[in-house]
Structures are given as structure tokens and as C-alpha cells.
Structure 1
Amino acid sequence: MPIETRPLQPLQPHFAAEMTGIDATRPLTPADVAAIEAGMDKYAVLVLPGQDMTDEQQLDFTRNFGPLQVAANTGMTAADMRLHDAFADVSNLDKENRKLERDDRRRMAALGNRLWHSDATFRVVPARYSLLSGRIVTRDGGNTEFADMRAAYDALDEATKAEIEDLVCEHSLIYSRGQLGFTNFTDEERHRMKPVLHRLVRTHPVTGRKSLLMSAHIGAIVGWPRPEAMAFIRDLMEHATQPEFVYVHRWTKHDFVIWDNRTTMHRVRRFDDLNIVRDLRRTTTMSEGPTVAQQGTQHEDQAR
């Protein structure tokens, strides 16, 4: 079966596409890998439907696209974890596959996924691809929305592009969770979540296109007063998430969705997670390296 891509949005033909002709449960050929990477460079989000995969098959597929990034799984201890530590457990289930209680610490932390973000910008080496497998899905809410940060950058006026070209932001999970009032961190977590630095504008290493590197994890702009910085970031967020830049994915069972964190943001929409089971499992690969030199050596442990 030949590999084919079909844009999912007629009005945005270069953002988000469905790819068929790939069996993600089997070893990929070099031609398969090249086709996926070319599709990602063009569309930034690929939907591979009908991929009924195991965890090991998902890990094998993911390894074709760079080193695995260990998931943060904020709010969980090792004893809590339901999946291999290379998976972000994007579900509402505990280790015994029971729905999480409303006030469960894991659920509180996971609510941060409802904010616009790019995966792992709270690490020195942020994410390249995220790969999300829909094992149990709901059509009653729970959509995932993606914002094209290339198009958002292109639409800025020239004065704003010049202003942001060299800006550097601080990113931390503490900032994103703090927006929701989640501040229940241990001392060890606070140490591990010390802010890291990233450029606000990044250039794609293959296409050369510029995009905004934005996320709910941003809590400061280096050299700016914090209130001014956060007001500015809020304006940019509103700009970047206008409907003309957004693709909404409505999940079907066994969809396998891949996105490039270097050129997108995303968020999950609310659903009745106290009564409906939703089990999605995300693997992630690391990008090429830091986007900017860090201050001192305090963040070396976060590069992993």
C-alpha cells in the first residue's frame, strides 16, 4: 500500500495531515522513516489512523526518531506509575486501572495539559516529536487542539518580530501548574523543576522556518520585569491560538497522532474524566539540543 498524505484542513493545507500506508506496529523501513519525517517537516502534525499497537510497538516506532525522553508524570511517585517511564500517562487511571478521584494529586497535576504548551520545554533539551496513541478515547470532549507556531510567527508584524528575535524565556512545570493553583510540590520536585532557558524564536533545523517557542511553562522573560513579561506572553499566546492557526483533533480509537514540538503548541479539552475512561499514551523524543546556553550548571540534570 503506497504512503499517502491528505491535508485535514482545506483552509490550512500546510498544517495537519492524515497519513496512510504506514503500519506503526511493524518495523519501519528507511523509506518509511523518511516519509514520516518529510510529512512532519511539511505538516507538523500527522494522524495515522487505525494503529492498534502495544506499548512495546509504540516504543520501537518512537526510537526511529531520536532518543527517548523520560516522561515527567508530575504528581506521581515511582510506586504510582502504571506504564514504562518512557511514557507520559495521559489517562485518568491509577495503577489498578481505576478512575482517579477528583482530588487525586496526579489528576490535579494532569490538569496542566489543558493549558496551551509545548512538551518538555521545562527541560534544557526540549522535545522533538510527541507520539500519542489513543487506546480508549471519548467523542464527548477530550479533543486535542494544535496551534501552528510557524504560521503564528509569520503573521506577526515586522516590529514585533524584531523585538522578540533575541528574547529568552524561563520555563518550568512550577509556572504552568501554578497557573491552576497547583503548588503542592515536594522539595525534591522544586529542585528538579528549577527554571531552564529557551529562546522565544527558534529556527527549524531542516526547513529553516522560524516559529514561536511558547508554552504555559513560561514564567519570565530574561531582563524584563515579570508583570510586563507575562502580559506580553499572554498577548502572544492569544495571537498564536487564533482559530486560523489551530487544528482540532477529534479522537477515534487507535488513532496515532504525531506532532513536532519545535513548531506547534497543543492542549487537551475538558471531558468528564470522573465518569468516562480515557487512556492515551504518549512517547516523546528529544530535540537536537538546548535552544540557548543555560546559566551556570544547575540545570544539567534536566537535560536528560
Structure 2
Amino acid sequence: MEHLHAQTAAGHQGPPPPGPTPLFRPLSGALGAETDAIDLSRPLDAATIEAVRTAFREHHLLVIRNQSLDKERMYRFAELFGPIESHMIRLADGSKWDAVHTITNLDAAGNPVAKPFISSNYFWHTDKSFLAEPSLLTMLHAVELPPNGGDTQFADMTKAYDALPDATKRRIDGLKSVQSLEFMRRYTGSAPPTEDDIAAAPPIAHPLVRTHPETGRKSLYIGMYSSHIEGMPEEDGRALLEELLAHATQDRFLYTHTWQLGDLVFWDNRCLLHRAVANFEMGKHRRVLMRIVVKGTVPS
């Protein structure tokens, strides 16, 4: 067994020196990685950009700690992943979100309210799955936080798909689920969409099992926009969608992010679900996150 041991005699080499320390380290939970070694207030060099892209492809969710970003710097960083998405969501005054906008629990006067204007954030979803080209990446930056709580949860749809029985995989492969903004508004008890909203984003069918364009791995593509299964009786389709969602959001597939001030968190909508958690005194404490979304491609 001598060949298993490092030798120190002349002509023999000891163990190789350790490689460079990875930029990102895995988070506790089913997915994600974090770093505190990047300053996004400055332009990134090519090697760092490539390391971020690689980590994003491998971990699906990244946390960059201790950032202080304005809208311009956040926009420029998000652009590294693709074109920036415009938004349909209307605010209480009827105006639409800017590309970089805020997600808050504040009213028009800046006071915290117990019931948020957008309640759908608290349901499992992948962003903009009701569009022909749904979102690739969503980015949030913590600007103001409650003293505790206000978490965000993420569920890994690739691991969830892998864990399905083979019989279920055979049953669902090739099926398409209809994604509908109008259905989501009813499902979550939100304000109904306007006629213009419906005209701009009519219901569309996407694969129930989506193949990631970069990794080639399969994942479930479900959530609050999933209305029914194309070609299946509505009641049966709804039952299947709810069964898959219950399976996919088990603790073993989840990561719960406990926010720290300055966190920049971004994730892959092609293979993750997410939801906000109302586990803080919403009517008492302010919670303000900056948000931007990168446009994706047609699911396949």
C-alpha cells in the first residue's frame, strides 16, 4: 500500500498544494451558495464574472453579502445575465414598476401596513411563468429589514423532479400546464387583471417538466400561475398540480433565507420556486427590498 502515502524522499512528491479557495461556499439547506468577497459597487473583472456565472449555474441561488447598491449598479450587474425585463405590475396609483423597483410593506405615505398591496408574493411561484418567455433570474437587495423574520423560501424543482417515482415521471413527461395571470389573481385572492393585462399576457401552455437550457437537467415547472393541465379534465389536472406542489415544497427541497442588511440574493426561475414568508410584525416594521428581473427564453 506504499503508493497510497505521500513520500518525502528525493524524487517523490508530497500531496499537491491546495487549489484556490472557491469564491462561493454552499449555504445550509437544499440549495444555494454565498460569498462576502465581492464588492459590486465597483466593476468586476472577467475572472470574477465567470466565477459568478459558474456558481449560479451550479447552485441556482447566490447570496452576495454586505452590498450597498444604487439602482444603476444593480441594473448593470443584472445585465451580465441577459436583457432586463419590463414589468406589468401596477402600483396603487396605477403606475407600472420601473426596471429596478422596490418590494415593500409600505403604504403611499411610507408607513408599514399589516396587509401588503401584493399578496401573491406569499404563494409558491416562479416569476412570470405566464409569459411566452418567462423570467430567467430575479434579484433582490435588502435595503430595510424588520428586527427579525421577513424570510424568503426557495424550493429546488430539479431535486423535486429527481425524487419522483419513475411511474410519476413517465406520467407527467410530455404534459403541458397552462400558465395564467388571471388564474393566479383568483388563486391568491389578488385584484383581477385589467383587460390590457390579459391582452398582453393571455394564458399560455408550458412544459410541466422543463429542461434547463444550460445544465440539461429536468425540473418541475409549477406554481401559483399553473391553472390546469392541457388535455386533461380540469379537476384531475388541478389535483395533479396540487399533488406535485405538495411534493416539491417538502423541507428536504427547501432553503429559507434569513435576510441580513445589504444582502443581494438572486436565483434561477427556470428551476426554483420561491415565496415570501409573513413571519414578522408587518404592520409595525418596515421591509424594503430592491428588485430587478432578467428576461428568459421559451421553456422546453
TM-score range, shorter chain: 0.7 to 0.9
1:105-184 maps to which residues of 2 (within 5 A)? 107-108=116-117, 110-184=118-192
Q: Aligned partner of 1:178: which letter?
A: R
Moved over 4 A (4+): 74-78
Matches for 1:198-237 after TM superposition, within 5 Å? 198-237=206-245
**2:269 corresponds to 1:256:** no
Identity among equivalent positions (%) equals 33
Kindly indicate whether the alpha-carbon contact (under 8 Å) linking 1:170 and 1:196 is maintained by their aligned counterparts in 2.
Answer: yes
C-alpha deviation, 1:165, in angstroms: 1.2
| Equivalent residue number for residue 40 of structure 2 | 24
Deviation at 1:226, TM superposition (A): 1.2
Shift of 1:248: 0.4
2:22 maps to 1:7: no
Deviation at 1:64, TM superposition (A): 0.7
Structure 2 residue aligned with 1:189: 197
Moved more, 42-51 or 182-191: 182-191
- 5+ unaligned residues in a row in structure 2: which ranges? 1-19
**What residue in structure 2 maps to residue 286 of structure 1?**
295
Query: Whole-Å Cα distance in 2 between the matches of residues 7 and 54 of structure 1?
Result: 27
Rounded to whole Å, the distance in 1 between the matches of 2:176 and 2:222 is 11
Kept in 1, the 8 Å contact 2:114–2:281? The answer is: no
Q: Please show how residues 265-284 of structure 1 align to structure 2 within 5 Å.
A: 265-270=273-278, 271-284=280-293
In structure 1, the partner of 2:52 is: 36
Question: Of the two, which has the highest radius of gyration?
Answer: 2
Q: Is 1:90 matched with 2:103?
A: yes
Whether the aligned pair in 2 keeps the contact of 1:71 and 1:88 (CA below 8 Å) is: no
Cα pair 1:48 1:256 within 8 Å, conserved: yes
Tell me if the contact between 1:2 and 1:21 (Cα under 8 Å) persists in the aligned partners.
Answer: no
Distance 1:139 1:247, change over 3 A: farther
- 1:33 is displaced (CA, Å) by 1.8
Distance 1:233 1:69, change over 3 A: same
Which amino acid is the alignment partner of residue 106 of structure 2? L
- Deviation, 1:181, is 2.4
In structure 2, distance between residues paired with 1:194 and 1:27: 39
RMSD value, Cα: 2.1
* In 1: Cα distance, 2:94 partner to 2:120 partner: 20
Moved more, 111-120 or 200-209: 200-209
In 2, Cα distance between equivalents of 1:235 and 1:204: 22
Amino acid at match of 2:49: V
8 Å CA contact retained: 1:138, 1:251: no
1:243 to 2:251 alignment: yes
Code of the aligned partner of 2:292: T
Q: 1:189 Cα deviation (Å)?
A: 2.7
Distance 1:203 1:243, change over 3 A: same
Matched to 2:25, the amino acid is R
3-state DSSP of counterpart to 1:257: strand
- What is the aligned partner in structure 2 of residue 69 from structure 1? 85
TM-superposed CA distance for 1:141, in Å, is 2.4
Query: What 5-or-longer segments of structure 1 have no aligned partner?
Result: 293-304
8 Å CA contact 1:128–1:284 kept in 2: the answer is: yes
